[in-house]
Structure 1
Amino acid sequence: MNKRKPLDERRAEIVEAGLSVALREGVESVTVRRVAQEAGISLGTVHYCFDDKDAMLRAMGRSIAMRASEPVIAALEAGPDRRALAEATVDALLVGLKEHQEMRLLTFEFAVSGARTPVLREVAQAHLTQSIAMTREYLQRLADVAQVTWASDIDDLARMTALRIDGIELAWMVDQDDAAAREGFAVLARDVFADMRPELPAG
């Protein structure tokens, strides 16, 4: 007799199955039936864990974002020295990109599919919102560690930062140029850290 798994554990299992299908066959191949088959569970179990396919896809997007953000969150341990924080953040962004490149590529697939397919647009928008929200959370934690505030509105800063990260990552997906990506992240970090108040003394 199969022991019933806790809901959170079952949801995580379904998300992993969905990601496996998406990585192997593409985002548009992710259906409730296909994921159930991949996970070796019934359709009813998937529907019990997620209200619909969109909810499952949103959970997949959050899982991708959480994995990619782990090295950057760990970089906060370098604080409160701002120069050390900036250097650690740049390194972490590149490490996270390289370690999770296939997962990050999936987020771009979600975006393109959402732009092309009205059915997936809401899911793509949810992924974008998640990305910006997680960037905002990181910026707030960064400010707390560095004991600063932001000159700009944090919501505007989070959106700008998230979109610039996406652009740098997408370029790296194409050219695989580590040095160019690191320089891009370094320029972004310089701009973001320049928004901190009080300003860092010269020298």
Structure 2
Amino acid sequence: MSWRARTSTRSSGGPDVARWTVGERREALVEAALRVMARDGLAAGTTRAVVAEAGMSLASFHYAFVSRDELLAELVRRVVGRELTAATAGMDPAAGLAGCLRAAAGGYLEHLGADPGAEQLMLELTLHAVREPALRAVAREQYRAYTDAAAALLEQAAELTGSSWNRPVGELARLLVTLVDGATTTWLVDHDTEATRRTLEAAVELLVGRYAA
């Protein structure tokens, strides 16, 4: 039984957390942290607020995670994983390399519109890390995850379409992260979806026109 199913089976005292595995506790805490911080901001995501959102005790938190930073790192991986899933879900080999990347851009943009709070949280985490040394390791993990996801997307698009890149995928992944980062931040400010779509399509034209072998 998953933690989601277990949370729906409550006694008068709430979910039977004592029966949960460590993995189920981690899952519930990450989802609770994402809800709290996407809704109320990074600073609101204290361990006490997260366990309250999850319906768990503070002891349960420390049973599942060593620290809040470990929780944040797992949250980052969760958000980036969902971004990659949204981007790659609609890629069609018949559309060619450019078509696959346009579909990826559209999938990401749809995901952004559906869950802007998560992306705003990622931006907030980055900006806080610039001034707060304690968060820099989490921010570095965030951008490693972004770059790994971008590389996976570029490799998958090339493999699906029998294409290749004329520059190292790691370099192109960093370029893609930079472009998408800027487009995302701009969308969070103006919510102009069509303008952002055109920006991402221009990024696709740049990547395919200049770097596809």
SS in 1 for 2:119: helix
**Residue in 1 aligned with 2:113?**
98
Q: Report deviation, 1:182.
A: 0.7
Q: Report deviation, 1:80.
A: 4.0
**Residue in 2 aligned with 1:60?**
75
How do 1:1-203 and structure 2 match up within 5 A? 2=16, 4-76=19-91, 78-82=92-96, 83-194=98-209, 195-197=211-213
The alignment covers a number of residue pairs equal to 196
| Higher deviation after alignment, 144-153 or 33-42 | 33-42
Amino acid at match of 1:72: A
Q: 1:68 to 1:100 in 2, by over 3 A?
A: farther
Q: 1:138 to 1:86 in 2, by over 3 A?
A: closer
**Residue in 2 aligned with 1:201?**
none
Summarize deviations over 1:137-186 as a string: whole Å, max 9, x none: 11111111111221111111101101110100111111111221011100
Q: 1:173 to 1:8 in 2, by over 3 A?
A: same
SS in 1 for 2:19: coil
Contact persistence 1:69–1:96 (CA under 8 A): no
Amino acid at match of 2:176: T
Distance 2:142 2:58 in 1: 24
SS in 2 for 1:120: helix
Distance 2:40 2:188 in 1: 19
Distance 2:26 2:126 in 1: 23
Q: Report deviation, 1:86.
A: 3.5
Contact persistence 1:113–1:120 (CA under 8 A): yes
Summarize deviations over 1:17-47 as a string: whole Å, max 9, x none: 1112212321122222321222121222212
Gaps of 5+ in 2: 1-10
TM-score by length of 2: 0.85
